Amino acid sequence: MKEDVSQLIMVAAVFLLAGAVKGVAGMGLPTVAMGLLGLWLPPSQAAALLVLPSLVTNLQQAWGPAATVLLRRLWPVLAMVVAGTWLSAGLMIGGHPRYLRGALGVLLVAYALLGLARRQWTLPPRHERWGSPLIGLVGGLLNGATGVLVLPVVPYLSALGLPREVLIRALAACFGTATLALATALVWHGGVPLSAGLPSLLALLPTALGVWAGTKLRRRISAEAFRRIFFGTLLLLGLQACWQAIA
């Protein structure tokens, strides 16, 4: 009984922290939660706990002015994220995703360091027609295999030059779509039982509290501080992925 209570407290603390990171930087919930929960849970079970917290908080963040305009712009990315996730979701159950996460971590660290050094790329709008579906497919394949949607979707959206709050909403739309696609794919592959919905529901409260606190902080900081937090978060997430691959 005491062990069960301790585990509940640990899970709540993980989601509170992961939610706060997402509230400030607009991302990081799955990566932080998967990384910490993975210390004692299999990847598929950790992903199951993430479903409702990630889905609900991303829907909340994605909603805002001109939401339909943003979705019309992003739909090729979102559609291919779903397709890619379904194609590779079986790897999470039967494969060894930590090595792939390690490689992604190295790339993420490199991108974050370039961002902190103000080496940022921009993508002209005319390239979105072919870039969006390609980026969505690659991101979906990596999401299905590792449970984390970061590369190449985050750098791609950042390169579009979106205003800060619009970027947060675009990230949330992609992350929410990836979460729903991964959850349904894992259920289809038999990696997650439907009974996992209740624990995921319980994890929603600490996540929401963390996102609320992080969002309050984000709205008080300058654009330069947000840039540093954004790329600093990517750097930490990349280092965490590298550490998990070799630990």
pLDDT of residue 150: 83
Q: What is the tens place of the pLDDT at every residue in 119-146? A: 778 888 889 999 999 999 999 998 888 7
- Residue 190 confidence (pLDDT) above 80: no
* pLDDT class of 159 with cuts at 50, 70, 90: very high
> Of the ranges 70-79, 176-185, 218-227, which is most confident?
70-79
Looking at per-residue pLDDT, the higher value among 36 and 76 belongs to 76
Rounded mean pLDDT of 238-246? 83
Report how far residue 36's alpha carbon sits from residue 102's, in angstroms, rounded to the nearest whole number.
15
pTM of the predicted model as reported, rounded to 2 decimal places? 0.83
209: Cα within 13 Å, side-chain hemisphere: 10
pLDDT of residue 110: 84
Residue matched to tokens 């994605």:
62
pLDDT of residue 130: 95
**Listed range (31-40, 52-61, 189-198, 226-235) with the worst mean pLDDT:** 189-198
Q: What is the tens place of the pLDDT at every residue in 62-97? A: 988 888 899 999 999 999 999 999 999 877 666 566
Rounded mean pLDDT of 177-188? 89
pLDDT of residue 203: 93
What ranges in the chain are assigned the alpha helix state H? 2-25, 29-37, 43-62, 67-88, 90-94, 97-116, 128-146, 153-159, 164-188, 197-202, 204-218, 223-246
pLDDT of residue 43: 72
Domain limits for position 87: 2-246
- What contacts 6, CB < 8 A, 6 or more positions away? none
**Listed range (11-20, 111-120, 224-233) with the worst mean pLDDT:** 111-120
pLDDT of residue 138: 96
* pLDDT class of 147 with cuts at 50, 70, 90: confident
Total structural domains within the chain: 1
Among residues 155, 147, 167, 177, the alpha carbon closest in space to that of 33 is found at: 147
Report how far residue 79's alpha carbon sits from residue 174's, in angstroms, rounded to the nearest whole number.
10
* pLDDT class of 216 with cuts at 50, 70, 90: very high
pLDDT of residue 3: 62
